[in-house]
């Protein structure tokens, strides 16, 4: 287990607004097993570790995957699009355009080894 934990307060609140289901819609894997949902509901903050697959991909990639309403683990996303994802599929946060969703791709945030290998 990764010891590094990150609190995403303001960002977490934004994520809460999505009313997202964190289980992969294809295989049912919980993409955020480290998150205490009660704490998340209460404070909007949550903790990621190296079991988590939280990411944001460019619109055309999600579109290729069929625009699922919910989450996909990276393995199921790649199965749907028929190829491995690569760093350019994961937009970086840009303060000029305030793409807050892309903050999920911050390279300093913990993720599963396979997501780290793709996202960079």
Q: What is the contact surface with Zn ion in residues (CB under 5 A)?
A: 24, 26-27, 29, 73, 76
Assign residue 16 a region (left: φ > 0; alpha: ψ between -120 and 50; beta: otherwise): alpha
Q: How far is the CB of 29 from Zn ion (least distance, A)?
A: 5
Q: How far is the CB of 77 from Zn ion (least distance, A)?
A: 8
Q: How far is the CB of 79 from Zn ion (least distance, A)?
A: 8
Nearer to Zn ion, 73 or 103 (CB): 73
Q: How far apart are CA 44 and CA 82, in angstroms?
A: 34
Nearer to Zn ion, 65 or 103 (CB): 65
Nearer to Zn ion, 45 or 115 (CB): 115
Beta partners for residue 64, in sequence order = none
- Which of helix, strand or coil describes residue 71? strand
Both structure tokens of 79: 């199965």
């Amino acid at each position: 287990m990764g010891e590094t934990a990150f609190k995403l307060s303001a960002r977490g609140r934004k994520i809460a607004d999505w009313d997202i289901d964190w289980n992969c819609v294809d295989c049912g894997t919980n993409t955020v097993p480290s998150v205490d949902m009660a704490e998340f509901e209460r404070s909007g903050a949550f903790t990621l570790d190296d079991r988590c697959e939280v990411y944001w991909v460019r619109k055309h990639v999600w579109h290729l995957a069929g625009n699922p309403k919910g989450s996909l683990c990276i393995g199921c996303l790649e199965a749907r699009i028929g190829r491995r994802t690569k760093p350019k599929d994961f937009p970086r946060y840009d303060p000029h355009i305030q793409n807050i969703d892309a903050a999920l791709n911050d390279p300093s945030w913990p993720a599963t080894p396979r997501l780290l290998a793709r996202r960079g």
